[in-house]
Amino acid sequence: MYKAIVIGTSFGGLEALTAIIKNLPENFSLPILVVLHIGEHKNDSFITALNKRTNLHVKEADEKEKIQTGTIYFAPPNYHLLVDEQSSIALSSDPKINHSRPSIDALFESAAWHYKNQLIGILLTGLNQDGALGIKEIQACGGTTIVENPETAIASIMPASAIRIMQPDFQLVLNDIPSKIRELTQ
């Protein structure tokens, strides 16, 4: 049923992503595309650490790369990560959205338009409103939406912003998100 998962996060995101990724099954097959607000800093050390905690392949996304199953793609620093019509990666240096490049909204919207009801969108901890409009668009296109409970998130602004403008399918504490992903994808 589902063909991909998109995850967006900012402040506190390294911890949140680690908690989710390390608890996915070894044979998890869906591709996961991630925007983590890191400014212009490199992803290398985090990607290396995650690769040691999961059997999935964790990497920085490359332009025109075909999206593969069982792979976790991180947006490169200072590029928007998008999904194109051929189920490939598109990178953009268009202006910042919500003061961010990469932008969660940009990823979520392009993935929603491509995958429609075959997409799971997850919005986690963060200190700005990026991702709220994107996760709303995922829901409008028929996808399934999960928002971290703002009351237990490291930074509540990002998940609370989404909940203000839409009713997510699931509002969960961080530790319940991996089991919900497994339930939805089995």
User: Cβ(169)–Cβ(139) under 8 Å?
Assistant: yes
Residue entry with tokens 């910042």: 96
Burial class of residue 151 in the structure, from the number of CB atoms within 10 Å of its CB (0-12 exposed, 13-18 middle, 19+ buried): exposed
Q: Which helix (H) or strand (E) holds 171?
A: strand 170-172
Q: Does 88 qualify as catalytic in the annotation?
A: no
Question: Residue 23 and residue 140: Cα distance in Å, rounded?
Answer: 29
DSSP 175: G
Among 103, 114, 130, 156, the one annotated catalytic: 130
Among 37, 105, 110, 156, the one annotated catalytic: 37
Q: Does 57 qualify as catalytic in the annotation?
A: no
Q: 3-state SS string over 60-111? A: ECCCCCECCCCEEEECCCCCEEEECCCCEEEEECCCCECCECCCHHHHHHHH
Q: Does 130 qualify as catalytic in the annotation?
A: yes
User: Active-site positions?
Assistant: 10, 37, 130
